Amino acid sequence: MTEIEEELARASRGLSASGPAPDVLAGLSDRAERDGVLDVAYAQVDSPFGPLTVAASRRGLVRVAYPEHELDRVLERLAADVSPRILAAPARLDPLRAELEGYFAGRVKEFATPIDWSAVHGFCGKVLRATAKIGYGRVRSYAEVAASAGSPKAVRAAGNGLGSNPMPIVVPCHRVVRTGGGLGGYTGGIERKEWLLELEGRTPV
């Protein structure tokens, strides 16, 4: 392990308020980026729901977490699923932050940020990829998403896959509703699902 990798590992284990100072982290993230050893960058983004934690690998977005998800838990999961070489590096997330701000303001209707699908697998991955194709202001039923994922009868499994969506909002699981128009569930809570649908011009049933 190189010196910068050792520093990165130490910093990633001390990401609480008692961890390295912001200027130290900024310098470390710059060095890690320059040396090509920062695999996952994360940042916080203001939203109508409170601060979202967003994270991206070099391939693309891997996580959007609502405020109730503890940062330490989010980072632990990313370290296990993607890479332990993770650090706050807001600059890498600036394009996504701008897109999210535009989305919440009603200006952005399609996210251009690439997605890293490497941490989602099997039928769940197929469900989330199908969901990512649902356009702004449109909805699909759980049955339709299951069919698009290749298993028309696996409606419950499709719902479970959507419930574990690691990238809500960008992968728009809020656009999946029950057959007949009922909202169904949502990993971020029904109130947020209603809010997002109303933002996009849909009136929840």
Residues designated catalytic? 173
> Are the C-beta atoms of 51 and 27 separated by less than 8 Å?
no
CB atoms within 10 A of CB 165: 24
Cα 24 to chain centroid distance, Å, stands at 26
Residue 39 DSSP code: -
Q: Tell me the C-alpha distance between 89 and 106, whole Å.
A: 26
d(Cα 62, Cα 42) in Å, to the nearest integer?
A: 10
Identify the helix (H) or strand (E) that includes residue 159. Answer: helix 155-163
For tokens 């998800």, what's the residue?
A: 69
Instruction: Find residue 55's DSSP bridge partners.
Output: 42, 63
